[in-house]
Amino acid sequence: MYTTEYQYIQASQKSQIFLARYLPAGHEASPDKVKAVILVPPFAEEMNRSKRMYVLCARLLANAGIHVICFDYSGTGDSSGEWGQFSYQDWINDLKAVYEYALKTTADVDFIALRFGALLLTDAILGKFVNANKCIFWDPLESGEVLTRQLVRMKIAAAMADNSKKISSQEVMQSIRDAGYLESAGYHITQAMFDEISTKKLADNISNLLAVVSVHWMTSGKFKVGENKWLANSFKSDDLNSELAEKSISMHPVNDVKFWMQQEVTISPKLLQLTKQVCVND
């Protein structure tokens, strides 16, 4: 049976980040022989919607003999600070700090990243802040612009609900430039963070990523046998059919609910079981 430990580690001079460690039974005997998996969080409200799945995944893998680490970015969750105090690079540094902490007990560290987390993890690997043999992407965002457009739509919907006044996306973008931040669904997102996320495109980096790490790309939804709607829209067919891709990327359509989209706490059992299979046996 696994055990759980909670602690803070220093990520920088301005923040401490909260860790939840799920430790497999018997890890004390040979901690350096236990593989570690770090769960990389998504963004904003999707963080909250993924908490339950992250806990269930951590428990499942810990019971299978893997040391699992969950963490909150600086300014989020139980970590210190406020949203608007930190940059995209600060969050990469957070991931680096968690990775270096994991290396104290093992040399074998893999990652599971949901949505925005896949974009950030890709930058962290290619920037040589972290290393890995294997990454599991859960419904990765193909571009940061998808996320920023979503934040703008949420702002528009909130404005209409508050005063029944319709505002345009151009007006929202102007308000970001004027104020220097976007307040959306209770999250204070600086213009610098918003702008940097908007530039991220996973397809631009996929070849470089696959040169250094193997990727399991898991997409949830309702799929019919033989259909390929689950493939990444931004990838050309030759991206996935290249010799490098054949060796380094595995695409997994998962007939299960997109839990991170649901208003109510929702889990995806098939996604969890596939993730365990890949982590333990691959």
For 70-83, what is the mean pLDDT?
Answer: 93
For 60-81, what is the mean pLDDT?
Answer: 95
For 205-233, what is the mean pLDDT?
Answer: 78
For 135-155, what is the mean pLDDT?
Answer: 91
> What does the pLDDT read at residue 87?
92
**Which is more confidently placed, 144 or 246?**
144
Position 135, amino acid = C
pLDDT at residue 248 greater than cutoff 90: no
> What does the pLDDT read at residue 276?
97
For 186-210, what is the mean pLDDT?
Answer: 89
Confidence of residue 105 (pLDDT cuts 50, 70, 90): confident
pLDDT at residue 157 greater than cutoff 70: yes
For 190-219, what is the mean pLDDT?
Answer: 90
- Residues 78, 47 contacting (CB under 8 angstroms): no
Least confident of 30-34, 55-59, 178-182: 30-34
pLDDT at residue 226 greater than cutoff 70: no
d(CA 95, CA 118): 12
Confidence of residue 227 (pLDDT cuts 50, 70, 90): low
Q: State the chain's mean pLDDT as an integer.
A: 87
**Which is more confidently placed, 37 or 14?**
37
Least confident of 12-26, 197-211, 220-234, 248-262: 220-234
Angle between the N-to-C axes of helices 269-281 and 45-63, in degrees from 0 to 180, rounded to the nearest 10: 50
CATH superfamily of 3-142+201-281: Alpha/Beta hydrolase fold, catalytic domain (3.40.50.1820)
In this structure, what token pair is assigned to residue 180? 């220097």
Confidence of residue 222 (pLDDT cuts 50, 70, 90): confident
Q: pTM score, two decimals?
A: 0.91
pLDDT at residue 163 greater than cutoff 80: no
Q: Exposed, middle or buried: residue 51 (CB in 10 Å: 0-12, 13-18, 19+)?
A: middle
> What does the pLDDT read at residue 183?
83
Sequence ranges of the domains in the chain? 3-142+201-281, 148-187
Confidence of residue 30 (pLDDT cuts 50, 70, 90): low
